Structure 1
Amino acid sequence: MTRCRDFTAVALRDWGWLPATTPEGRERAEDVLLMVSEVVTNACLHAAGPEELVLRHADGRLRLEVADGSPDPPRPHAPRSPALPGGHGLMVLDRLAGAWGSAPKANGALGKIVWVEVTRPSRPPWRSD
């Protein structure tokens, strides 16, 4: 999981999301790193680990995809106390992601891809990047 977060942090720096110049930007970047952790952790817990992490960036939108070998789509747990550990990953995605979901791998390959989309926070008007 650490390598996936580190890889994502490097990509966010390359794409200008980090270092963030506003509190909203810093929060959004931290949200992205948390969502990577959640999706990768779910692949570890429910699918024998992630097979691939793909990040795509275009037009102020980030899409992250985690492929694993399980064909079973993510399923939320029954509601439970937030004070209890574990079982809150999909709730985190619901709250932080612009959209998320899963799809079977292409070409009949066994497994799925869990994807998450996040929009970049607004840039201050004086920034040109």
Structure 2
Amino acid sequence: MEERERDPEPAGRIRRLVLDGTSDVVTRSRDFTRRALTAWRWLPPGTDEDREAAEDVLLLVSEVVANACLHGGGPTALVLDCTPERLRIEVTDGNPAPPAPLARRPEGRGRPGGYGLLIVERLARSWGSQPGAGGKCVWAEVACPPPVRRRLPAW
């Protein structure tokens, strides 16, 4: 596993984890995200709102990375971009097809699973995908809780 950060400071606002060719990518991504949230002072949580926000972020990362494993040929990278207003989660994979909730497609009705993107829709304030070189990037954004905004390091 290779972690590469764009910012030289440990608490830098953009973090990148290269996942191409690695195993156990969901666990690696969650651990990487937990370390970033700790550096950005989302963890340890100061309030119930902070705790819920951090748990939502970890669940979002798990869902988007798992979807890349199941439907995108495997994730190639995870990027976290934190500002005082929002946290953006980006996962790239090698499949150019845009994501679509399986539970909403005719072939998905009545089948187990297929609710990952519905969870993303529920937890993220916005999400989407954009084509990229050799695949796509699926992104989700969550609002930065006000208590966390006040604790963020100066960038």
Range class of TM-score, shorter chain: 0.7 to 0.9
Structure 2, unpaired ranges of 5+: 1-25
Q: Is the 8 A contact 1:5 1:37 kept in 2?
A: yes
Identity %: 58
Name the residue aligned to 1:89.
Answer: 116
- Equivalent positions of 1:95-106 (< 5 A) are 95-105=122-132
Q: Is the 8 A contact 1:54 1:66 kept in 2?
A: yes
Name the residue aligned to 2:46.
Answer: 21
Amino acid at match of 1:87: G
The whole-number CA distance in structure 1 between the counterparts of 2:64 and 2:85 is: 21
The whole-number CA distance in structure 2 between the counterparts of 1:28 and 1:51 is: 25
SS at match of 1:123: helix
Name the residue aligned to 1:117.
Answer: 141
Structure 1, unpaired ranges of 5+: none
The whole-number CA distance in structure 1 between the counterparts of 2:120 and 2:103 is: 16
Amino acid at match of 1:53: L
Name the residue aligned to 2:8.
Answer: none
CA gap 1:128/1:96 in 2 versus in 1, 3 angstroms:
closer
Q: Is the 8 A contact 1:99 1:117 kept in 2?
A: yes
4+ aligned runs moved over 3 Å, structure 1: 78-81
Amino acid at match of 2:67: N
- TM-score (norm. length: structure 2): 0.73
The whole-number CA distance in structure 2 between the counterparts of 1:85 and 1:60 is: 36
SS at match of 1:62: strand
The whole-number CA distance in structure 2 between the counterparts of 1:128 and 1:93 is: 26
Name the residue aligned to 2:70.
Answer: 45
Deviations along 1:65-124, whole A, 9 cap, x unmatched? 00000000001124457xx7411111101110011000011xxx1100000101122218
Alignment coverage as a number of residue pairs: 122
Deviations along 1:42-70, whole A, 9 cap, x unmatched? 00001111000001111231001000000
CA gap 1:42/1:57 in 2 versus in 1, 3 angstroms:
same
CA gap 1:117/1:128 in 2 versus in 1, 3 angstroms:
closer
SS at match of 1:4: helix
Name the residue aligned to 1:31.
Answer: 56
